[in-house]
Structures are given as C-alpha cells and as structure tokens.
Structure 1
Amino acid sequence: MKIIYKARESRRTNPLPEGEDDVLELLSNDWNDYGYETTFMTTCRIAGERIQLGAIKILFEKSNSRRYLKELLQNGWDGSFPIPNESYISTPGEITFYEQLVGALSPKKAVKAAEALRDASYLIHVKDDASAQEMIQEGGFKDSLQRERGSIDAFNSGWKILDQKSLAARDVDFSFKDVFGQRSSLTFKFGVGETSLPRDINVLIGANGTGKSQLLHQMVKAWLADPRQVRSGDFAVPPDISRLIVVSYSPFEQFPVDMEDSKLNDKDAYKYFGLRGVSKSSSPKRKLITLSRDIPRQDTVASLVSCVMDDQRFRHIQGWGRKIATAERVLRAAIKFDAIALKLKSNINLKDLFEDLDELDKAVSVIKQGGKEASFITITASNIRHIDANMLERFVNAEQGVLFLADGVIQQLSSGQRLFTYLVINVLGAIKRNTLILIDEPELFLHPSLEIQLVDMLKQILQSFNSRAVLATHSVSTVREIPADCVHVLERTDDSLIIKQPPFQTFGGDFQRIASYVFGDRAVSKPFERWIEDQLEGMSAEELIQSLGDDVNEELIIQILAMGRDQW
C-alpha cells in the first residue's frame, strides 16, 4: 500500500486519490495543535473500498509538521512515505487505525505501513528504536501527540495490534476524596486474577450516603482533566482506556453532559447518557442544561445510528463485536419483536437510503399513527450493509425513539423495558476498543431478571471490545454475577469510610449471605419479623408453624424456631 502526502486540504467529504491501487493519503488542515500542527486526516482505499481510518499525528524533530511537509514538497520530495533521511514519529488518533489495516490488508502489510509512518508505539515497544526514544522525550510528543486520550491509548497499546499480542486489561488505581473529606484509594481489579473468573466488571455497593456516586463523579472529573497533568485525587497510573462512558438515569445526578468546555480536540473521549442535555436555547457564552424524558429517546436513536456506522466502518476488524447483532440478541431477552425500527422524516427521497431498491422495499414499512401514515425503516444485522448510514442520520425522526415491530405493529414498552433499551443501545453505540463504562444505579426501574440480563449484556460486549465497567449499585442480584475481588463494599462509620471486599465468593453466591454482609441485613428489623414476634407472644413457635400450614416455607420455619428460642 502506498502512503502519500500531496498537501491536499481536508474537507467534510474527501474524495479518494486517483487510481485503483491501495493507497493511504494524509490530508492537510489548519488545526494548530498548540503550534505543532501534527494532525492529519486521512483518506484510504483498499481493494477498491473506502476505509475510514481517522486521523494520524506526525511529529518532526523541532519543527511544525504541516509547514515542514510543505517545505519538503517544495524541495523536491515526491510525497511518499517513508520520508528519506528525516527524523519523525507518528501516533494514530485511535487504536482502531492499525486494527483496520490489519483486517483489510494483513498483519505484515499493516506493519510495513506503521514502519513507513514511523509509528511511535511500534518503534518504542517492539523495535526499541533509538531515534524514536529521543523524540518521545521532546515537548511536542507530550503536548501534541499525547494530548488526546485516543492517541495516548494508541501509543500504549497499538504495538500489541501490530505485534499480534493480546490486549490484556490492567487494574485501575484511583485516589479520591471520600464523604468525610479524607483521601482514600481504591484498586479496580480488571487485570488477570488468580482464578479464571471474569474480572471485566467491578461493583461499588453499600448503603445510601457512603459515596458511591461521588466516587464516580470524581473519576469523571479526573478523566476530563488535561491528561498531561498529574494531580492528587486522580488515577495513580494513566489507565489503558481511550473512552469513558457514563450512564445514569437518576434525576438527581450531576455528571458533565459533554466535553465541549474542554480544550481537548477529541470530544468523543467522554460520552454521557442520562436525563440531562444541553438546551437548544444555549449560546456559546452560556450553556443551559435541561432535564427531559425526551433526551434518552433521542440519544438512543443517535446511538443506534452509531451502531450502524461502526459496524460498517470497522467490518474488517477481526473479532469486532457486531453491534446491531448484539443489540438484537440482548434486547430479545426483554422484548418480543421481529425488528428494531426508526421513524423517518416525511418528504424525503427514500431511494437515497439504499442503492439496491429491493433492499429498500424490504426495510421500509408504512404504518398508520394517529390516522396518518408514516415511514419506518427496520435496522437488522442482515440489512445494515445496504444502508447509507450518513443519509440515515439525516433522514431519521428521533422524536419517538427506537421502536420495536412485531407483525408490523409497534410494541408498547414498560418503563423498565424502555430503560433497558436505553442502556443497551447507548452503551453499544458509544463503546470503542478500550472503553471504561461507569453506570450509576443500573437497577433503576429494572426487574431483577433484567438486572441480570444487563450484566450479561455488558459481559458480552466488554469482551468483544477489550473494555470494562464499574457499576455503583444497591443490587445484590448484580453482585452475585461478580467475583468477590471485584466487589467493593463501602461502609460508613462515625468518622471514616471503610472499603472492603467480601471474605467469601460472591460469584454465584447466596443472596441472603451477600445482603447480610453488605447491608447488615440482620440488624434491620423487617415487617414480617415484627409480625412473627407479635404472634409468638401468644403461642409457641411450633404452634405458629402449625397454624400457617402450607403458607410457610423451609427458611421461614428455621427463622420462627430460632426467634422462638431468642436465637435470631
């Protein structure tokens, strides 16, 4: 594959270079990059197909990159990489840059491309290149090539893609200020453990007021800060993640809704899903945040379209977790449907959505709503390759959210089913390789069986995307799905916060035992226990059991007998 630079300006839509050969072209732009001008968008053709690789950053020794490349062209350079007799290094904007090249070309050809571009990750971690070692000590590497989260992750882990090594997750150490204002620390166990039990999800659990949500807020704040700065109350070591997703449908949460106030360019390094969003009446000088039930519906439509785009864009990556197929499979655990659907705007040319008119007829249905006919497009794992995702994004009507059709009829969802849909589709739409997902109180509005389905869904997609999650919860059902060393119990004393892990295995463990350990269950008097105490004042335990007949179960018999002997 040829790699070229012709100083062609990057546009919203960039035509492919002339010819039919495999080619990767770097495009010029006016991004300042803090004076270094290292960022170049790309356009790529492999086997006649357009491959969307994203941006790459190139740093030259003590020089503005864009200006220097222009000088090289003026001095006779033909625009081909590698550039002879020049010292430079590069880092892609995302780790998927080389994953796509590996899948679309071959591992060997992807390595050749990385060598031509002098990929810093490969040169440092595999080749131990002396020139690259010197260049990563320069200010431009830290201030430009390693300013964005995606580029940091690409440098730390990209070499593993090229060297065909597994992307093993590491533990995450975090220092935070607890509810007493004291400094505490916590290690989220994501790395390989002593057993084969899955460690892709960690859980924060404890009574109200122990600071679970507060801890998540501090993690978000640390993530949104400039990654070049080291602060107290932060990650002890920069985590090997490229994106942070926050999900909270509590009306009381106060997570940041976006990264627009950040000076970082990579605004997608943080994604928030909840009931709040930026008001349409906001201005650049005054951001107004609004709370609305419409926001999750609209977010879910955008996320479903993102799933389509990602499945199309990353189709060459081996082991890519097919997002639409995953959504269909997981959502059928909660909803009976034939197809996921989106409402389309009126007065559009449906032919723009599909090149194949036969596929158009299969995917688009006309359904009556309120006496009026409206068009709906079904989104399935089998038809997304035929859809023009960019046109879908323009044509979709987000007001009704994501819909589910069964026998051509739109299905009505309960509040729990809707929330489950929001969680599943939004997480799938936003997740990329090496993502950390924070979910605050995922059990809100969910039936216990859906809580378990949510954990099952997370486990499926986390593995596919080498990602991990932290859940702040009160749900014992959730804890039963998590190994004990990944369960962090927050307990508040009179003057301090204690963080401990259960001394027994919670994975598949006893529900009552977990509840008693986490919440001090036996110390809390329950209504049914008070009723038993009242009955025992007038009869013996044996008489009470006999009077209950078939209405008493084995556990209750044991408890009544123990309470009758004052042993409970």
Structure 2
Amino acid sequence: MWVFPVGHFGEVLDRVGGKLFFVLEDQRPDGPLELESSSLVAWISGQSQLQAADDFVAKLGDFVLSLSDRDAYRKIASALAGAAQRLLMKAHDIAVLNAYHPNSKSLTRARAFATFRSILLKGDEELFAFVSIRSILNLALSGSQLKNAASIEADVRVAAGLELPVSLNFGEALHSLNPINVVIGSNGQGKTRLLLGLAQAAVSRMLSMRDDVGAELLQPDSLKVVAFTYEPSHWSRLRTHGIEVVSMGIDSASWRRVTSLIHQIASSDDGQDNLRQIELILAQFIPTDELFLPLIAREVDGVERIQFREFIERMSANLLAGVDLTKSPIMEAPTKGTYSLSSGEKSLLSFCLSTFLHTRGGALVLIDEPENHLHPAFISLLVKTLVSTLVATESRAVVVTHSPFVVREVDRSSVLILKRNMEDLPELYRPSLQTLGGDISMIVDHVFQDGSIKKAYERRIDAVIAERMAEGAQIVTNDLVVDLGNDGARYLHAQAALAGN
C-alpha cells in the first residue's frame, strides 16, 4: 500500500511503502510500526512522537490514500484496529474522487503528477475497495472465500461412470482481474451437464483451488454455489443439497420484482455500501440518476417516488419501510418525462441485482446460456456487468454458452471448448486463437468447425462461379464483389484462385 502526503500547494512530499506512518489522537496501535527508510520517515523520526492525523494535515495539507484492493484495506483495518475507520474516512481516495468528485481540489492537484495519473486509470477493484470500506471495518476481515482463487480444478461427472477433468483459470487479463470462465460448445454437447457436475463437485467438497502463485487453498465447508438458469427444473435435486437456483428471464412480474431486489439489498448488512456498489455497476448501461423507486406516499411525507441515488444517501429504517414493493421502478428524465427501459435493459438490470444479491460475501456462480433472448450488443453489456458484479462481491463464475459474442469478451486462457470426439465422448480444450476482442467469424469457425459446413451464401457463389466458368468469363468482377460482405468476398477470391481464374 502507498500513502501520498500532498502539500498545500499540491507538491508530493514523498512516498512511503509499507504500513502507515502516523497514528490518530496520539494512540499507537498494538506493536511497533515497521517503517521503510525514506526522507519523510527520517523527518518524522526527528519529532518527539509520531504525528496525529489532524496535526499531519494541519502541517502538510491533505493526504491521498490509494490502495490496490480490498485486502490492503483489510490489512490497515487489522493493523490500526479502532483508529482505522477515522483514518480511512479522512483519506481522499483517488479512485473515488475520480468517480464522484472529478472537479475536487485534491484530485486536480493529484492529476499534476504521473504517479497519480497512473492510479486514475485503475479499474473496478480499486473503486469497489473504497466503497466497501465500511463493510470491511464492520464485518470479519477475511473477505470472500474465493477472493484468492486463481484456479479451480475438479473431475466432473458428466455421465454415468464418466468423469471429465475441468481446469478453470481466473488469472489476470489486460492487467485486470478475470473472474469469469466460459465454456462454449454447440447444442447437445453436454454444457448443462458440465455445470451440474461442477455444482455436485462443490457440494461434495471435491474442488481443488490454488492462488496466483500455485499454493493450494482449502475448499471451505460452506462454499456458496449459485446457479442461474432458464431451466430451474434441471437443478431441483441439487437445490436440496444447498445450491441456490435463480430463474433467469424477464417479464412484467419480474420487472416489478426489481423494486424488491433493491429493497432486499438495501435491507442487508451494510446495505448502503452495497447499493453504492450497485449504482456504480448499473451506471454502465442505464442513467442511474433517472431511476426512481416507488414509495407509499402516506409513509414518506406524501412523496410517491424517490431518486435511486437519493434513496442510497438518505438510507434509514423509515425510508425502507416506505418503499412500495408492489410497484415497478420508474424511469424519468426532465427532457422526456416517464419512459420505459427496453426489454434487454430490464433483463440486464434484473440479472445484475439478482447476481449481486445472491453472491454477497463471495460465491461460485454457474450460469447456463445467459445470452438467450438478448441482442448481441446486450450480450457484451451482460458480460461487462457480470464481471463488475463478480469483482464487487469477490466471486468467481463459470458461464456455458453457444454465443461467440460471450467468448469475444474473455481471454483465451479462460475459455474452454466442449465437443465430442470420434467415440462420442466429451472433450475440453482451450482455443489456439486469441478470443479476447477476436473476430466473431473466426471464433465461430474455430469453435464450431463452421468452415467445414457449406453455407447458403457459399452455394450461391459456387453457382455464379460455375456459370461464369461455363461462359469463359472472368469470375471476380467489381459488380460481384460489391454484392458480398467480407466473408463472401474472401470465399469468392479463394475459389477463383483454386479455379486458376
């Protein structure tokens, strides 16, 4: 962890690695503080005692605290005990300033320095780390059971007498946490059975987990496993063994339940902090300042609705009691009045809230074909939203899909292709091409061997080629190429080359 003391005129006085170098109200934490050698430490050591936070700010100006993840905050809370809450709340965390107060003086000063600018580029984990401070201070410091799991392995039963080795990789991709693995395969390959097998292995405590340096982690006795599916009946047996099963999809009744989902999250331990995290996630795909919750007017001073952000900031028992759980949320903007979200946005909002609610405290999440009924653009949003939610709850997820749009959002090290071999037995292997940001057509060809299947447009091109060859005419002409897309044009040129034309 780093502490950046910032002077009144914005100059960075020094940087100290290791534990914090000051205490609050002259109360020292238990045990000595180990200080790294630096000019600032030398300056402090010349004082009669370590500086209290108030004295430090009075002499040197505001300080900015930037920590990489929630574990760093947990270490501070553990080291400083009761002093930690005041210390952390007094610090100006750069990630949060950047998100909520981009014009603040502290942030303006910080932007002048390269070190601070690099911190401003950090992602979800830093932001959720700060938003979770109160939860970290109020609850046990251990965090999620899966927060350190970089890989999970299991021998998964996919049929009677048949087990399939499954290796899941949750290492970093593009310098950020990758909490999702994807299993892709065509229909009938056994993707749902694989998920059911993973759930059974978790219930039987047969998962093998390791951290990012390969050290083995013990599977906890009470590992939470949550399954999201359009076919909850497939999970009825495992539900009796403690697997939480959530039905996916959205209809008018499901949309009304969104109010109840928000209310449940708000009513949970540290509900206000949880809703702040939810707002950060929802803001990726809807304008959260236009989201209102319905109220029972007689319970809340005659007001019939409240803005979601205001609801978060004014959180109280009376306000929670005033939420009308029988009504849907309301979208309202000054320029267009009351309006409705699209079905895709509603589905995404419901999915995000359900995922967060069921994974608080960390969970292994198993999701069966979440892309059903979604437009490709919303598939990308769904994956982005899922990743942010998993980071917020320190969870891990396995998604089975037949959509290349899902696979395109994940690094190939976290993608598994499921197919049947010549003996009609299931096999898993990793793709050889990079899937993250990959070409959809190439992913389809690679995963589904789509290139071996004669497509309708290829048959039409073949007919034109045969006709032109019979006439002795040139095969590739501008008028033909302009009628084709990229894949069709490539096929035309390839076939013309084979024909020697």
Q: Matched residue pairs, number?
A: 362
Q: Is the 8 A contact 2:258 2:350 kept in 1?
A: yes
CA offsets, 1:60-100, max 9 Å, x none?
Answer: xxxxxxxxxxxxxxxxxxxxxxxxxxxxxxxxxxxxxx99x
Residue of structure 2 aligned with 1:343, choices 290, 294, 298 = 294
1:109 corresponds to which of 63, 69, 81: 81
2:432 aligns with 503
What is aligned with 1:329?
283
State the secondary structure of the residue aligned to 1:330: coil
Q: 1:406 to 1:239 in 2, by over 3 A?
A: farther
What residue number does 1:171 align with?
151
Structure 1 residue 205: Cα displacement:
0.3
Q: Whole-Å Cα distance in 1 between the matches of residues 402 and 330 of structure 2?
A: 30
Preserved CA contact (<8 Å) 1:327 1:425? no
Distance 1:197 1:168 in 2: 14
CA separation of 1:295 and 1:222: change in aligned 2, threshold 3 A: farther
The Cα of 1:298 is off from its aligned counterpart by: 4.6
The Cα offsets for residues 114-156 of structure 1, whole Å up to 9 and x where unpaired, read as xxxxxxxxxxxxxxxxxxxxxxxxxxxxxxxxxxxxxxxx9xx
Of 196, 204, 207, which residue of structure 2 is paired with 1:235? Answer: 207
Contact kept in structure 2, 1:490 and 1:498, CA below 8 Å: yes
1:57-206 equivalence runs, <5 A: 107-109=79-81, 167-179=147-159, 182-191=162-171, 196=175, 198-206=177-185
Query: In 2 relative to 1, CA 461–535 (structure 1 residues): closer, same or farther, beyond 3 Å?
Result: same
Query: Is residue 78–residue 141 contact of structure 2 (8 Å, CA) maintained in 1?
Result: no
Q: Which structure: greater strand fraction?
A: 1
Residue 550 of structure 1 corresponds to: 482
Correspondence for 1:404: 331
TM-score under structure 1 normalisation?
0.55
Query: 1:272: which partner in 2?
Result: 246
The separation in 2 between residues aligned to 1:207 and 1:424, in whole angstroms, is 26
Gaps of 5+ in 1: 1-97, 113-153, 276-291, 352-360, 365-374
Deviation of 1:394 after TM superposition, in Å, equals 6.6
- Asked whether the 8 Å contact 1:305–1:393 carries over to 2, the reply is no
**Contact 2:164/2:427, CA 8 A, preserved across alignment:** no
Q: 1:309 and 1:440, CA in 2 relative to 1: closer, same or farther beyond 3 A?
A: same
Change (3 A) 1:181 1:536: farther
Residue 514 of structure 1 corresponds to which residue in structure 2?
443
Distance in 2 separating the partners of 1:110 and 1:295: 46
Query: Does the CA-based 8 Å contact 2:411-2:435 persist in structure 1?
Result: yes
Q: Distance in 1 between matches of 2:346 and 2:333?
A: 16
Distance in 2, matches of 1:396 and 1:510, equals 46
Shift of 1:472: 0.9
Distance (whole Å) between structure 1 residues aligned to residue 74 and residue 478 of structure 2: 72
SS at match of 1:254: helix
Distance 2:198 2:344 in 1: 28
Q: Partners of 2:195 and 2:311 in 1: how far apart?
A: 38
Report whether the alignment pairs 1:308 with 2:266: yes
Q: Is the 8 A contact 2:226 2:244 kept in 1?
A: yes
Equivalent residue in structure 2 for 1:563, among 489, 495, 498: 495
| Equivalent in 242, 245, 257 of residue 226 of structure 2 | 245
Structure 1 residue 519: Cα displacement: 0.5
User: Secondary structure at 2:182's aligned position in 1?
Assistant: strand
Aligned equivalent of 1:449: 377
Counterpart Cα distance in 2 of 1:405 and 1:441: 32
Q: Write the mapping of 1:24-63 to structure 2, written as runs, cut at 5 A.
A: none
- Aligned residue for 2:234, secondary structure, equals coil
Code of the aligned partner of 2:340: Q
Higher helix share: 2
Residue 255 of structure 1, CA deviation: 2.9
Q: CA deviation at 1:177?
A: 1.9
Paired with 1:313 and 1:425, the residues of 2 have a C-alpha distance of 13
| Equivalent residue letter for 1:443 | E
Percent identical residues: 22
Change in CA separation of 1:258 and 1:301 when aligned onto 2, cut-off 3 Å: farther
1:209 aligns with 2:183: no
Task: Note if contact 2:225-2:365 (Cα within 8 Å) is conserved in structure 1.
Answer: yes
Q: SS of the counterpart of 2:374? A: coil
Structure 1 residue 256 displacement after superposition: 4.2
| Cα distance in 2, alignment partners of residues 314 and 411 from structure 1 | 27
Residue number among 529, 532, 536 corresponding to 2:458 in the alignment: 529
Q: Is the 8 A contact 1:344 1:376 kept in 2?
A: yes
RMSD: 4.1
Query: Structure 1 pair 549/171, CA: closer, same or farther in 2 (3 Å)?
Result: closer
- CA 198–324 in structure 1, closer or farther in 2 if over 3 Å, else same: closer
Which AA in structure 2 matches 1:324? I
Q: Is the 8 A contact 1:204 1:489 kept in 2?
A: yes
CA distance in 1, matches of 2:396, 2:225: 10
Q: How far off its partner does 1:379 sit?
A: 1.4
Q: Which amino acid in the other structure matches residue 170 of structure 2?
A: F
> Does structure 1 retain, via aligned residues, the 8 Å contact 2:352–2:389?
no
TM-score of the pair, normalised by structure 2: 0.61
2:317 and 2:251 mapped to 1: Cα distance? 26
User: Secondary structure at 1:499's aligned position in 2?
Assistant: strand
How far the C-alpha of 1:216 sits from its partner, in A, is 1.6
- Structure 2: distance between partners of 1:212 and 1:559: 32
**1:177 counterpart SS class:** strand
